[in-house]
Structure 1
Amino acid sequence: MILRIDHVGMVAADLKAAATGLRMLTMNPDEHDIVATYDVECQFWRREGDPTAIEIVTPAGPSSQVTGHLRRSGPGLHHVAFEVDDIVAELAVLRARGAVLVDDEPRPGGQPGLQIAFVHLGPATGLLVELVQYAEPRVRPVAELPRQRQAVG
């Protein structure tokens, strides 16, 4: 089950230059990872109290998975990531619904216990989605959150 939007990923050639823009939004750097599977360096930025992040992804070496994207499209939006509670099951659901799996099975992410997989939703959206499953979920599913009563009047 999809739990929430985890982060929005953007690609950049220069991590420090991209960070300047996020500082304009009063965001602060948080986690920093190297994901060897994709040969990328990732830095997450957040606003205080907000679990949703913006991720800056830059090439970490010559075989980086984002080098081609930068060459074709330049810096900018790359993907939207959703936290899931069962990444294997969610990949199967998305495949059955017609999504194109970039990763047929989860790969290790940049943090201990993190699993990730990328999926294209198709040409109608052009959206690349990343599924992320942490060793321990970061938030409870919406169905488990207490319901708030809406004021009438």
Structure 2
Amino acid sequence: MLGRLNHVAIAVPDLAAAAAVYEGTLGAQVSAPQPLPEHGVTVVFIDLGNTKVELLEPLGEGSPIAGFLEKNPSGGMHHLCYEVDDILAARDRLLAEGARVLGDGEPKAGAHGKPVLFLHPKDFFGTLVEIEEV
């Protein structure tokens, strides 16, 4: 069911400062910031060829990232995103196996414009998992 690792997401308190560290210290090419109001975040991506790193900061008061940063003020690894061929088939299989899909269970457009769903971290050893249709 799982395809390749699409990205590792890191929540940061200051997106511009984090992007500057990745550009300056690590020599990475960082994309332009992309606000995603439907997910409550602003993101940038660092393309590594075989995968990406996503840096995300809260967007607005109701951002789910705000709670994460309250517990982890310096930021930290937020989620892993895996590719799937058919997100609805993957969702149905996961539900049949007892996994919990967050939200209303319907895919939403992610940062790449493709359907995504998030899976409860308690079902995956404390790691929030995102699946994205390719």
State the TM-score, normalized to the length of structure 1.
Answer: 0.76
Count how many residue pairs are aligned between Structure 1 and Structure 2.
131
Task: Return the offset for 1:124.
Answer: 6.4
**Residue 105 (structure 1) shift:** 1.4
Give CA deviations for 1:101-148 in whole Å, capped at 9, x if unaligned: 113110122344x11110025266101001112xxx4xxxxxxxxxxx
> What amino acid maps onto 1:100 in structure 2?
R
Q: Is the 8 A contact 1:82 1:132 kept in 2?
A: yes
Quote how far apart the aligned CAs of 1:89 are. Answer: 1.1
Q: Which letter maps to 2:28?
A: M
Percent same amino acid among aligned pairs?
Answer: 31
Change (3 A) 1:41 1:88: same
Structure 1 residues not aligned, in runs of 5+: 138-153
Relative to structure 1, the CA distance from residue 125 to residue 21 in structure 2 (aligned partners, 3 Å threshold; closer, same or farther) is: farther
Number of the residue aligned with 1:146: none
Matched, 1:15 2:15: yes
User: For residue 132 of structure 1, what is the aligned residue in structure 2?
Assistant: 132
TM-score normalised to structure 2 length: 0.86
Stretches of structure 2 lacking an aligned partner (at least 5 in a row): none
For 1:73, the equivalent position in structure 2 comes to 72
From the superposition, tell whether residues 101 and 27 of structure 1 become closer, same or farther in structure 2 (CA, over 3 Å).
Answer: same
What is the identity, as a one-letter code, of the residue corresponding to 1:61?
G
- Of stretches 25-34 and 58-67 in structure 1, the one that deviates more from structure 2 is 25-34
Structure 1 residues 103-142: aligned runs within 5 Å: 103=103, 104-112=105-113, 114-122=114-122, 125-133=125-133, 137=134
- Partner residue of 1:96? 96
For 2:121 and 2:21, the matched residues in 1 are separated by 28
Is the contact between residue 99 and residue 122 of structure 1 (CA under 8 Å) also seen in structure 2? no
Distance in structure 2 (CA, Å) of the matches to 1:83 and 1:124: 16
Equivalent pair of 2:99/2:120 in contact (CA under 8 Å): yes
How far apart are the structure 2 equivalents of 1:38 and 1:11?
13
